Structure 1
């Protein structure tokens, strides 16, 4: 008597759904990174892909149990469903981890009382506690450097361009407000758009700079993306300012000191 060995339908559907969910996430992520679809569309695709991945994972696990009991075929398709289902769940799990690790920084600044002005972003974030922001981003504070404001502005603008951010506008200083503000557009790794603004002003010690970063549209939680971005900008700016000061000190040390009679002429008697 021949025993009929079948392929588990749970395993087959788990693989099909896993492949479909993975394709949805992969294609939508690529399109969003290159600006081909809007962020709301991408977020809907993320939800759909994640839900399909969760279903594929559940079917794959159910297929394992069925195969163990029945002895049918389908371990390969079931494994594909479980593995790709976990891959599809990866972004959601990472988002949960970042949401637990960081407070929302959908609109953060180093100058809470007088933040730099935004020209495009219209954040609709919940009230953010400055103390919790500083706990998560301890370097997110106003910088004061002992260099001329003009030099600080050039260093900050060069760093902005080096990061690949697009300049939206430069607000020149006025007679009332002798401060320069630069606004720029920053795209995150996955394609979300944020606006960065930095403001340079003179200070009694030299120059100071304040930053602000905000999501371009209303978001409930940015997973700390804006806070990490401007904190990294400030740390990189610290390095550039230190290099600027070191280079200028070296140039000052290399300047020859004029000594009377050093040109070969006898000093004139008084």
Structure 2
């Protein structure tokens, strides 16, 4: 009587599937927990590191399992493949973040005014250091103030409209005055993980019209992956189109 041939099951494949299936819930809960409050600023990066670490381990185990099954035979290719599928979304985002870090300077606070950056009043945030300002001047020479040949009241209304349209949470709102600069401070929230960045927009009357400066600062980490510079450029692009298109503020009384 011949004995049965026992085909082994790859333990690496089994654990690849299990760990990969765990990485996505960890990252999802991290995003929801940070966006809605239970996870504080100081804890979000370690939690995200755990989720991404699980995805990396899952992919490594899957690779080992595929090689082992190919040369020695055995079950588990399906489990290893599921580990790859579960880990790919996290690793794709991690790859994009790595690419962003490689092409953008290590900065997290960008201002259009390098001499007198707009100050925050609603949040206790220090001004950029001299080294950060020098690095920004080299990396983003095209980030600067915009001047419009109209009064600050119209510019202020246009800025406020754009801030509201972008869904930013306004934390301070100082309308135009005869002598002092007006400003709008807000919090911008990222789409995927809910990272919160502080934004301040300063509007000043000049001899020829109105000057607008903007500052955007990330709360998490020391590298914004170029997010703040892109935010400022995009905002000014929309503001230019709005004002050049003959924007007229709606000053009609609100309907009850």
Q: Please give the TM-score of this superposition, normalised by the length of structure 2.
A: 0.86
Cα distance change on mapping 1:4 and 1:130 into 2, 3 Å: closer
Structure 1: distance between partners of 2:242 and 2:216: 21
Are positions 1:216 and 2:219 aligned together? yes
1:27 corresponds in structure 2 to 29
Contact kept? 2:107, 2:136, Cα under 8 Å: no
1:260 corresponds in structure 2 to none
Contact kept? 1:67, 1:75, Cα under 8 Å: yes
Deviating 4+ runs (over 6 angstroms)? none
1:258 corresponds in structure 2 to none
Contact kept? 1:7, 1:73, Cα under 8 Å: yes
Are positions 1:143 and 2:146 aligned together? yes
Structure 2: distance between partners of 1:124 and 1:61: 47
Structure 2: distance between partners of 1:124 and 1:55: 40
What is the total number of aligned residue pairs between the two structures? 242
| Alignment equivalent of 1:156, drawn from 137, 140, 159 | 159
Deviation at 1:112, TM superposition (A): 0.9
List alignment gaps of at least 5 residues for structure 1: 249-270
Deviation at 1:244, TM superposition (A): 1.7
Contact kept? 1:121, 1:214, Cα under 8 Å: no
Q: Please give the TM-score of this superposition, normalised by the length of structure 1.
A: 0.81
**What is the SS of the residue equivalent to 2:246?**
helix
| Alignment equivalent of 1:131, drawn from 124, 130, 137 | 137
Deviation at 1:170, TM superposition (A): 2.5
List alignment gaps of at least 5 residues for structure 2: 250-256
Deviation at 1:89, TM superposition (A): 2.3
- Deviation by residue 1:161-215 (Cα, 9 ceiling, x = unmatched): 111111111235667x531122112112221111111111112221111111112
Deviation at 1:113, TM superposition (A): 0.7
Deviation at 1:95, TM superposition (A): 1.5
Are positions 1:225 and 2:227 aligned together? yes
2:208 corresponds in structure 1 to 205
- Deviation by residue 1:19-40 (Cα, 9 ceiling, x = unmatched): 1122211221233234442233
1:266 corresponds in structure 2 to none
Deviation at 1:87, TM superposition (A): 2.9
**Matches for 1:1-270 after TM superposition, within 5 Å:** 1=2, 2-119=4-121, 120-122=123-125, 127-128=131-132, 129-135=135-141, 138=142, 140-171=143-174, 177-189=179-191, 190-216=193-219, 219-244=221-246
Structure 2: distance between partners of 1:30 and 1:141: 35
